[in-house]
C-alpha cells in the first residue's frame, strides 16, 4: 500500500514569509504522496478588521456572516492558496490549488445549531469526499493543496474548519493508502503550558487529553484540532502534531 501524508499547515507559519518558505522546502523533500491543507485565519482576521468587519469566534471556530464569507473566500481560496501553489511549483513540486467546490471535492451543508448561528459555516461527511478526484491527481504526481472552503451544491461557498477538513481527507483516503495526518503550526506540539515549549507532551492518549481539557490546560483552537485528531486516529491513521519547521524531524506529539 502506497504512503500518503496529509499535512495541515496553520498558525503564524503561513503569515511569516521565511518560515513558510522553509516549511515548503521540507514539504517538497517528503517522500510518497502528499496532500497539503491550509488555513489562514490570522490573515483573514487582519483583512476583516481593515474592512471594518469585527471577527467573532466561539470555541476556536469562526462565525461566518456574509461579509466574512467574502473575506475568507478571497484569502483562503485566492491569496494564500495560490501563493503556496506558486512556491511549490518553484521547488519542482507539481501542485494544484483546490477548494471544496473544485471538482466537487467536498460538498457540505450549512451548519445548524440549536443556540448559535454560525452563519456560512459548512459541515461535511467523510463519505462524500471525492476520493476519485484525489486518487487521480496523486496518480499523476500532482499534489493537491486544499483550502478550508467547501460548498453546498447550491452555489454557495462555506467556511469549514481546516483541522476538520484535513482530518476528513486523511480518513477518506485511509482505505487506499497507508495514511498519516500531521498538524503543523508554530508550537512544538501539544503543550501542558502553552507558554512553555519544554512542557511538550511527546505522546498523548485520549484519556489524558480529556483530563487536560477538563483542567483547562487545553483550550481554544487546540480543542477542535485534537477532537479531529483523535477521531482520525480511531480510523487507524497515525497522527502527529508538531512544529512546521521540524516537519522532517522525529519530533512533536504523537497520538497513542
- Residue 186's CATH number: 3.40.1160.10
Residue 18 CA neighbour count, 13 Å, CB half: 0
Question: How confident is the model at residue 59, as a pLDDT?
Answer: 66
- Between the alpha carbon of residue 245 and those of residues 8, 18, 49, 174, 241, the distances in Å are 13, 10, 29, 26, 12
Share in percent of the chain as helix, strand, coil (round to 5): 40, 25, 35
The domain in which residue 143 lies consists of 3-255
- Between the alpha carbon of residue 241 and those of residues 10, 103, 119, 204, the distances in Å are 11, 29, 29, 10
Q: Is the pLDDT of residue 88 over 90?
A: yes
Question: How confident is the model at residue 79, as a pLDDT?
Answer: 94
At 195, is the pLDDT very low, low, confident or very high (cuts 50, 70, 90)? confident
Strands lying side by side in the sheet with 95-98: 95-98, 143-147, 33-38, 3-9, 178-185, 238-243, 253-255, 203-204
Question: How confident is the model at residue 60, as a pLDDT?
Answer: 60
Which tens digits make up the pLDDT trace of 180-193? 999 999 999 999 88
Question: How confident is the model at residue 73, as a pLDDT?
Answer: 96
C-alpha cell at 132: 476519485
The count of structural domains within the chain is 1
Question: How confident is the model at residue 143, as a pLDDT?
Answer: 98
- Of the chain, the percentage scoring pLDDT greater than 90 comes to 74
Q: Is the pLDDT of residue 234 over 70?
A: yes
Amino acid at each position: 500500500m502506497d504512503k500518503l501524508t496529509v499535512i495541515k499547515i496553520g498558525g503564524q507559519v503561513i503569515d511569516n514569509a521565511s518560515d513558510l518558505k522553509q516549511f515548503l522546502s521540507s514539504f517538497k523533500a517528503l517522500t510518497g504522496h502528499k496532500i497539503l491543507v491550509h488555513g489562514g485565519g490570522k490573515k483573514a482576521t487582519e483583512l476583516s478588521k481593515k474592512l471594518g468587519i469585527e471577527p467573532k469566534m466561539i470555541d476556536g471556530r469562526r462565525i461566518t456572516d456574509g461579509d466574512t464569507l467574502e473575506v475568507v473566500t478571497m484569502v483562503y481560496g485566492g491569496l494564500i492558496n495560490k501563493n503556496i501553489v506558486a512556491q511549490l511549483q518553484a521547488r519542482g513540486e507539481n501542485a494544484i490549488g483546490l477548494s471544496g467546490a473544485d471538482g466537487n471535492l467536498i460538498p457540505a451543508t450549512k451548519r445548524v445549531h440549536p443556540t448559535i448561528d454560525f452563519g456560512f459555516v459548512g459541515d461535511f461527511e467523510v463519505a462524500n469526499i471525492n476520493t476519485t478526484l484525489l486518487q487521480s491527481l496523486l496518480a499523476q504526481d500532482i499534489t493537491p493543496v486544499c483550502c478550508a472552503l467547501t460548498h453546498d451544491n447550491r452555489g454557495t461557498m462555506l467556511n469549514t474548519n481546516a483541522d476538520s477538513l484535513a482530518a476528513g481527507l486523511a480518513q477518506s483516503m485511509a482505505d487506499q493508502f497507508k495514511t498519516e495526518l500531521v498538524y503543523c503550526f508554530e508550537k512544538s506540539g501539544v503543550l501542558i503550558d502553552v507558554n512553555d515549549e519544554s512542557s511538550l507532551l511527546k505522546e498523548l492518549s485520549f484519556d489524558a487529553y480529556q483530563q487536560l481539557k477538563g483542567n483547562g490546560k487545553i483550550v481554544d483552537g487546540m480543542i477542535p484540532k485534537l477532537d479531529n485528531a483523535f477521531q482520525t486516529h480511531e480510523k487507524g491513521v497515525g497522527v502527529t502534531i508538531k512544529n512546521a519547521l521540524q516537519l522532517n524531524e522525529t519530533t512533536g506529539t504523537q497520538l497513542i
